[in-house]
């Protein structure tokens, strides 16, 4: 084996031992359903049972908190990504 091939082999072995950095991925979560009953006052008052509901938000796969008391993981929501419609009417953040 030549010095060049020995150096190349050693470099490849070292690279194989270096962990690959985790890459964050934005995940879009969408939940859909229908109104079961409505106790909302204001702009969505009168939305009938059966009206469509859709909620969407984005989470970062690297931004999470493990629960200390329960074996689960919670992901941080990007507040600017949140949207919700009820019966075709957009719900706004307070």
3-state secondary structure at position 42: coil
The beta-strand segments (E) located in the chain are: 26-34, 52-66, 73-77, 83-86, 89-91
pLDDT attached to residue 5: 55
The answer to pTM > 0.75 is: no
Running along the chain, 94 residues long, what does each successive block of 10 average in pLDDT? 54 51 79 85 77 92 84 87 90 64
Cα(65)–Cα(78) distance, integer angstroms: 14
Burial class (CB in 10 A: 0-12, 13-18, 19+), 58: middle
């Amino acid at each position: 084996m030549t010095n060049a091939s020995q150096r190349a082999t050693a470099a490849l072995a070292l690279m194989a031992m270096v962990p690959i950095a985790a890459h964050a991925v934005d995940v879009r979560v969408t939940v859909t359903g229908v109104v079961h009953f409505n106790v909302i006052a204001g702009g969505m008052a009168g939305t009938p049972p059966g009206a469509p509901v859709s909620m969407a938000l984005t989470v970062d796969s690297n931004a999470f908190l493990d629960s200390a008391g329960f074996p689960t993981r919670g992901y941080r929501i990007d507040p600017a990504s949140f949207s919700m419609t009820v019966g075709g009417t957009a719900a706004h953040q307070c």
